[in-house]
């Protein structure tokens, strides 16, 4: 089963800004509606493949993007990743 990451945001503006930053840094992200298993979050999230998550975490640490939470989806399991 494909393992991937879902990054959620405080609001839509942060989500849009994060997508722009990712594109600027040539990191492949996919805009998705926030999955229903993640509640109470802005409606837009980013889906990130495993090979790109490290680059995204670097952007978060550098304060270039502000995220709410990072989840890892592996098969049926969903876990919060601490950044």
Partner 1 sequence: MNNIIDCKGLQCPMPVVKTKKYFDSVESGESTIIVDNLVAKNNVVKLAEGSGYKSIVEEKEDLYFIKITKEKCEVVNTEIKDEKKFTLLVSTDKLGFGDDKLGDMLMKSYIFALSEADLIPNDLLFINGGVKLTIEDSPVLDSLKKLISRGTNILVCGTCLDFFDIKDKLSIGEITNMYTIVELMNNADNTIKL
Extract the runs of DSSP E, i.e. beta strands, from the chain: 3-8, 30-33, 44-49, 69-74, 77-81
Q: What is the DSSP letter of 62?
A: T
Q: Which is nearer to partner 1, 32 or 81 (CB)?
A: 32
Binding site for partner 1 (CB under 8 A): 12, 15-16, 19, 30-33, 43-44, 47
Q: How far is the CB of 66 from partner 1 (least distance, A)?
A: 16
The CB-of-42 to partner 1 minimum distance in angstroms stands at: 11
Q: How many CA atoms lie within 13 A of 23 on its CB side?
A: 8
Nearer to partner 1, 33 or 75 (CB): 33
């Amino acid at each position: 089963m494909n393992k991937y990451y879902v990054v959620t945001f405080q609001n839509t503006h942060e989500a849009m800004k994060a997508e722009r930053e990712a594109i600027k840094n040539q990191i492949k992200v996919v805009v998705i509606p926030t999955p229903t298993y993640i509640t109470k979050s802005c409606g837009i999230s980013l889906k990130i493949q495993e090979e790109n998550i490290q680059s995204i975490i670097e952007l978060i640490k550098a304060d270039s993007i502000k995220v709410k939470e990072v989840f890892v989806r592996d098969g049926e399991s969903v876990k919060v990743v601490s950044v």
